[in-house]
Chain A
Amino acid sequence: MTSDDTAGCPLPISQYTQVLMAHGGGGRLMQQLIERVFVSAFSNPRLDERHDGAILDAQGRRLAFTTDSYVVHPLFFPGGDIGTLAVNGTVNDLAMCGARPRWLSAGFILEEGLPIETLERVVASMRRAAATAGVEIVTGDTKVVEKGKGDGLFVNTAGVGTIEHDLPIGPRHVKLGDAILLSGDLGRHGMAIQSVREGLEFEGPIESDCAPLADIVMGLIEAGIPVHCLRDLTRGGLAAGLNEIASTARIQIDIAENAVPVSEPVRGACEILGFDPLYVANEGRMIAFVPESDAERALAVMRASPVGDGACRIGTVLSDAQGLVTLKSRIGARRILDLLSGEQLPRIC
């Protein structure tokens, strides 16, 4: 059989010519969109690091700079709302650069008809979240769009943090043999949103894990742990985070499925919908790559923080010159842990 024999297969959709929801799902389609449209247009050494934020040199001081937009529906969900997300998400992106989060901007796109009271509740959440994370919201912007042209409220935050150490932190600094540490159980945010959005009722309420992670990161750095890479596990979950790092660093990462904690309600909800918790979004979970010899000490530091008390070791950097994540399954066989193509879609049966 020659390779041309399959040319007559059911017609392929070769390239999507318009944006699909799947382009925002944190999977391979989104990576392709970023590569094709944004990286090719904006490429520069800081962007090309492909980190959660850019590291900038401002006359001898190192700063971290990042931005993120929040379009969550519903605006309020168990464990948080769009305001707590908008603050913690950007705080966490700065923390993943090894920076101390300092200043945030807040941009609001309001849809005509949004109750002012709703906006006030969101803003009050943002004030509390900023106070908890130790950041100031120092500038902002407000726009209003016609009814039907927004989903009530969109928020954008950008953030600046200061880097107060000389550690190089990022995917390219991961080393062979590094231990991979996870700060707690997975999947709470994604399944909390899913259950509210779809009106699904499970045995216990699932609350979002939305939380600032800067304390954990500052703790690791102040304890003198030579951290190599940090990543918060948002869209696409643990699988996306590990795959992005593996492909940027050209390494093979190996994790043990048994070592990854998932709470019973989240597992139950995932089983019902046919979701894999390794791909579900989190808003208060991170992974850290540290030298094997520092792993136990780093875990103790992470566990000392209330948002890291479930920290555990999930895997190791096995070899270089590959961009691959493998997983040892519960029954002891090894397989690939791949990026999803787009979003996880609930299955038929």
Chain B
Amino acid sequence: MKFIDEYRDAGRAQECARAIARSVTRPWTIMEVCGGQTHAIVKFGIDELLPRDITLVHGPGCPVCVTPLELIDKAIAIASKPGVIFCSFGDMLRVPGSHTDLLSVKANGGDVRIVYSPMDSVRLAREHPHRQIVFFAVGFETTAPANAMAAFQARREQLGNFSLLVSHALVPPAMSAVLSAPHNRVQGFLAAGHVCAVMGYHEYEPLAQEYRVPIVVTGFEPVDILEGIRHCVLQLEAGKAKVENQYARAVKREGNLPAQHMVREVFQVIDRKWRGIGAIPRSGFGLSPAYAEFDAERRFGVADYHAEEPSECLSGLVLQGVRKPVDCPAFGTRCTPEHPLGATMVSNEGACAAYYRYRRQQDNRRSL
């Protein structure tokens, strides 16, 4: 398969790993921001090819993991209302709220549907004019344009029975938060390729300068990730700190301008909470005033929900790259994908779930 096979080629991957090993003279800690990259690293065993001096830590870029608890509670409250068709991407259904999850709402008779595109929920609104259709608009900048397009289309068609429960997160403010934390140990970043395909990478240039960290826009296949690490290591060894683009086949510096235009039309930048991390200023998208009528939180009166997220949970530290999943005493024993204690164990892209699924035995052995 073109654009896949050549980036999963064992020979190229191993050659790249050898090149990294030749360049490294001292220990470096690099964070991959995106959950998709975390998943690929653990699934393909990319870190096992790296020299010991390179430590990969896993970033806050898993949209399921960072969605705040109270937003899940809001989703559950709305989905439980009679007459509502609640539409979501599949992997949000298993995330536990304070008391239950959307799968259980569905089992109790709630009309919860998995959709593949937000436009599917707009179609449902058209087809079911007497029901309320709510789309759970979750994700980073990557999913924002399509979600914005759904709101734009609903407004154009005056679909008064359509609304969005929005929880969009932005990557650059989260990277700032990681870098300015007192216990930060991240020295270089692999930036999320698909986020940059939409937003471009110019907004990372001030970050690289201010914090003196190399940032390499990186794709998602093994050779991409190894190439990203190699660029990052070369910069670190040379004392450089600039933004580089490994994922040039998908990313341009200015990004996708029509997509950004659609996002600006519908959303505005707001402060938001990150599950396990806390509040980060100007780190999310909310509906702009012109689209306020499509805000599901207002329509269903759930805007003032609040849920306490206890600070003891390790997933916040995992999401900031301070701890590894296997450092948690509950990992793999009391906390498993069937009975997750934290969000990082729920999503496929969550670091804890990836470790549990692909390597719990090896890591248990290592930690003995």
> In the complex the two chains form, is B335's CB within 8 Å of A11's CB?
no
CB-defined contacts of A8 to chain B, threshold 8 Å: 310-313
Contacts of B68-118 to chain A: CB distance below 8 A: 69, 89-94, 96-101, 103-104, 106-108, 114, 116
Out of A10, A200, A330, A348, which one reaches B341, CB within 8 Å?
Answer: A10
> In the complex the two chains form, is A336's CB within 8 Å of B315's CB?
no
What band does the interface of chain B fall in when counting residues whose beta carbon is under 8 Å from A?
A: 35 or more
* A interface secondary structure, majority: loop
> In the complex the two chains form, is A335's CB within 8 Å of B358's CB?
yes
The answer to whether A348 and B91 touch (CB under 8 A), given A5-B312, A200-B116, A331-B222, is yes
> In the complex the two chains form, is B104's CB within 8 Å of A329's CB?
no
CB-defined contacts of B341 to chain A, threshold 8 Å: 6, 9-10, 12
What band does the interface of chain A fall in when counting residues whose beta carbon is under 8 Å from B?
A: 35 or more
B210 at the interface (CB under 8 A from A): no
The answer to whether A345 and B359 touch (CB under 8 A), given A6-B329, A32-B338, is no
> In the complex the two chains form, is A11's CB within 8 Å of B98's CB?
yes
CB-defined contacts of A16 to chain B, threshold 8 Å: 104, 107
> In the complex the two chains form, is B45's CB within 8 Å of A334's CB?
yes
Per the bound structure, the CA–CA distance linking A331 and B40 in Å amounts to 11
CB-defined contacts of A274 to chain B, threshold 8 Å: 348
CB proximity of B54 to chain A, nearest CB, Å: 15
Stretch from B139-147, B234-242, B263-271 contacting the other chain: B139-147
CB proximity of B50 to chain A, nearest CB, Å: 10
B361 at the interface (CB under 8 A from A): yes
Closest to B310 in A: A8
Stretch from A61-69, A84-92, A264-272, A291-299 contacting the other chain: A264-272
A51 at the interface (CB under 8 A from B): no
CB-defined contacts of A204 to chain B, threshold 8 Å: none
Out of B10, B275, B311, B347, which one reaches A332, CB within 8 Å?
Answer: B10
Q: Mark B327-359, 1 if CB is under 8 A from A, else 0.
A: 011100011011111110001110000001111
> In the complex the two chains form, is A349's CB within 8 Å of B94's CB?
no
CB-defined contacts of B114 to chain A, threshold 8 Å: 345-346
A116 at the interface (CB under 8 A from B): no
> In the complex the two chains form, is A349's CB within 8 Å of B13's CB?
no
Out of B91, B106, B108, which one reaches A346, CB within 8 Å?
Answer: B91
The answer to whether A331 and B45 touch (CB under 8 A), given A6-B334, A9-B310, A346-B89, is yes
The answer to whether A333 and B143 touch (CB under 8 A), given A2-B329, A16-B104, is no
CB proximity of A28 to chain B, nearest CB, Å: 6
CB-defined contacts of B338 to chain A, threshold 8 Å: 28-29, 32, 341
> In the complex the two chains form, is A331's CB within 8 Å of B313's CB?
no
A1 at the interface (CB under 8 A from B): yes
A214 at the interface (CB under 8 A from B): no
A18 at the interface (CB under 8 A from B): yes
Chain B residues close to A by CB (< 8 Å): 1, 4, 8, 10, 13-14, 36, 42-46, 48-49, 63-64, 69, 89-94, 96-101, 103-104, 106-108, 114, 116, 138-140, 142-143, 194, 222, 275, 309-315, 328-330, 334-335, 337-343, 347-349, 356-362
